[in-house]
Amino acid sequence: MRNEASPPERFLWQRLRNRQLNGHKFSRQMPLGPYFCDFLCREAKLIIELDGSTHDDSAEYDARRDACCRELGFTVLRFQNAEVIGNIEGVLSHIMAALVQAHPQPLPPAGGE
């Protein structure tokens, strides 16, 4: 766990905090198994990870972490830092789609039921 968030993490956090994204609660730097998640929505079992420049060793570590999280029933979304800074609306749209998939709206009852 890092003590200080990167600028892209702070930028995304400003859009996720205080249930701003359709009422979903996100937390930062949360432990899950032996790992820490950049952002975690427990109710939707959704993890959001931000990646900077990728090196071979970090790619292997990320793959192990993602596999562990999936085994625990979580979906992992990964975004590049540049994507968060340059296309925040697109990133938020992708996150919203994952949230809707995790919690689809129930169909309304058929006439009169």
Give pLDDT tens digits for 2-39: 568 899 999 999 999 999 998 999 999 999 999 999 99
**Total domain count, the chain:** 1
19 vs 105, which has greater pLDDT? 19
pTM for this structure? 0.84
The domain of 38 spans: 7-102
Domain-located, residue 110: no
Q: What is the CATH number of the domain that holds 93?
A: 3.40.960.10
* Number of helices followed by number of strands (H, E) in the chain: 4, 4
- Contacts for 32 with CB less than 8 Å, ≥ 6 apart: 40, 47, 68, 69, 72, 74
- H or E stretch at 92: helix 88-102
Domain-located, residue 113: no
Give pLDDT tens digits for 33-68: 999 999 999 999 999 999 986 555 688 889 999 999
